[in-house]
Amino acid sequence: MANTNIKQIIKQEYIKCAKDPVYFMKKYCFIQHPTRGRIQFNLFPFQEKVLTLLNKNDRNIILKSRQLGISTLSAGISLWMMVFQKDKNVLVVATKQDTAKNLVTKVKYMYDNLPSWLQIGFVEKNKLALRLKNGSQIKAVSAASDAGRSEAISLLIIDEAAFIEENRIEDIWASSQQTLSTGGRAIVLSTPNGTGNFFHRMWVKAQENQNGFLPIKLPWTVHPERDQKWRDQQDAELGGRMAAQECDCDFTTSGNTVFDPELLTYYEKTFLSEPVEKRGIEGNLHIWEYPDYTRKYMIVADVARGDSKDYSAFHIIDIEEAKQIGEFKGQIGTKEYGHMLVAIATEYNNALLVIENANIGWNTIQIVIDKGYNNLYYSPKGDAGTSAEAFLAKGYDVTDTSKMVPGFTMSMKTRPLTIGKLDAYMREKSVTIQGKRTLEELRTFIWKNGRAEAQIGYNDDLVMSLATGCYVRDTALKFAQQGIDLTRATIRNLGKSTPGIYTGGVNKKEAGWIQDLGENGQQDLTWLLD
């Protein structure tokens, strides 16, 4: 009779566990605490809520603070699925194999500490995998591995997804779609790591209900044992920016972005606007202001390498205000691009046309020269082009092509200088950026091994052409006291055929500007600085 009662109780408990992962985990799962050793997994209320959501929804994305036990929850629901369902295949993917292995280790620890009547036996058990006799299994792989990409997946867990290289995680996701679409489940979890990456895009789409994922946000405040004192301590230990990433789930302050995310948010809120016109078959040329024939403009262009992932791009910039009034980004042949640039530059008052002269850029520049366009930017040869002071002090004749080279020369010396100039303009809020595409590129422009470049999977064509524009504006053109506020009178000297040598007023007039006009004599421009 007693045995009958015990069997009945076990049966009832088994049914309860099979129906409710929260009940199963709270009552029968044990975890390895870092200081207290083996303890029962007593879920916090927020963990119970998350576990319930994970069970009810097939696709979940979790934006989380550090050390909330969410990886342990993922291990728990994996074990629950494996024990109570046959032939389930759980795949854990992380940046490194050790990270993925850690989750599998948690599953094995929970399994080893289950009561015997819940242990159904295993046929494989190692550091990276656990396979039960009912055909269910869990396997750990790194994002760099090809293992498991072609398998039928019942549950895909991507841990710290924001830190997986862009090409890797996109490959993993694309490979898993066929099996996931037939009833598979997915849990994508991570702390933030900047904007524009795969995890961030997936999170944004989930919030907008565009990808079928349930967004679950878990900042540090959900943990009942953490208070403001704990949060302040994180600031002290990690620094404000890292603490905001690790604790507050703040995308805008996370990542290794070149430009301050908070500043980018300011630009988005202050200047971002819809263009008044979109030109071209694909509407790739965005116009915010039509030509004002009293003003001077600059068109700064980057020429695509020629592969399918690279784009040609240019900005139309009001020189005096350092204001972006036009933006192009598209795929176009180098010759067609040259014709397009001449047409737009002519429309905008014979704008100063600045074209990067690296590699394939020469093809576009040649078209501009062949068409006889008379306001093409020339770079000084050698190191004279690396600073405003050097450029002006050397007294280069801007019409003497023997000492100049057509186009802008982007080199190891000038690249960091252009980026630094754009950063300075933005911090001083001296440049107006209206284009959404430009701001998106700025958000995905990161430091990688000491070099500023686009995140994998993104472009920086608009960023670099804008940076070049800011640099040229301060270097090759006349600038006032802080290199920001150009006057119209200064700009009027651009594009003249009269030989002009900028000397910077060295040894001529205290703090003055003298322009040597050859046979016409010298013109004192000191008043421009008043």
- For 413, phi and psi rounded to 5 degrees? -85, -45
Same domain, 134 and 272: no
Q: What Å distances lie between residue 180 and 76, 88, 187, 188, CA to CA?
A: 20, 13, 11, 13
Same domain, 333 and 280: yes
Q: In angstroms, rounded to a whole number, what is the distance separating the alpha carbons of residues 249 and 63?
A: 7
Same domain, 233 and 102: yes
Domain end residue (candidates: 214, 248, 282): 248
Same domain, 469 and 432: yes
Same domain, 67 and 206: yes
Q: In angstroms, rounded to a whole number, what is the distance separating the alpha carbons of residues 138 and 114?
A: 17
Same domain, 446 and 488: yes
Strand pairing partners for 453?
446
Same domain, 285 and 236: no
Q: Does residue 49 fall inside a structural domain? A: yes
Same domain, 387 and 320: yes
Q: What Å distances lie between residue 126 and 30, 31, 87, 138, 422, CA to CA?
A: 20, 18, 19, 11, 53
N- to C-terminal Cα distance for the chain? Answer: 105
Report CA torsion sign: 494, 341, 312, 255: positive
What is the reported pTM? 0.58
Per-residue pLDDT 10s for the chain (530 aa) are 456 688 888 999 999 999 999 999 999 999 988 788 899 998 999 999 999 999 999 999 999 998 899 999 999 999 999 999 999 999 999 888 888 889 999 999 999 999 999 999 988 888 888 999 999 999 988 887 765 555 788 999 999 998 888 778 888 888 888 777 778 899 999 998 877 788 988 998 999 898 889 999 999 999 999 999 999 888 888 777 778 778 888 776 656 778 887 788 899 999 999 999 999 888 999 999 999 999 999 999 999 876 666 799 999 999 999 999 999 999 999 999 999 999 999 999 999 999 998 878 899 999 999 999 989 988 777 654 455 455 445 555 545 556 678 899 888 888 888 998 999 899 999 999 999 999 989 988 887 767 888 877 788 999 999 999 999 988 655 433 333 333 333 344 444 333 333 233 333 333 333 444 444 444 444 443 34
Q: Does residue 333 fall inside a structural domain? A: yes
Q: In angstroms, rounded to a whole number, what is the distance separating the alpha carbons of residues 351 and 342?
A: 9
Query: In the numeric block, which tokens belong to residue 10?
Result: 């076990």
Domain end residue (candidates: 216, 248, 280): 248
Q: Does residue 197 fall inside a structural domain? A: yes
Q: Does residue 33 fall inside a structural domain? A: no
Q: In angstroms, rounded to a whole number, what is the distance separating the alpha carbons of residues 314 and 302?
A: 6
Same domain, 306 and 430: yes
Nearest in space to 433 (alpha carbons), one of 518, 326, 303: 326
| Domain hosting residue 460, numbered range | 261-497
Q: Does residue 29 fall inside a structural domain? A: no
> How many structural domains comprise the chain?
3
Domain of 290, CATH number, reads 3.30.420.240
Q: In angstroms, rounded to a whole number, what is the distance separating the alpha carbons of residues 310 and 289?
A: 27
Nearest in space to 161 (alpha carbons), one of 79, 99, 239: 99
How many CB atoms sit inside 10 A of residue 343's CB?
12
Same domain, 402 and 336: yes
Domain of 100, CATH number, reads 3.40.50.300
Same domain, 461 and 514: no
Same domain, 194 and 302: no
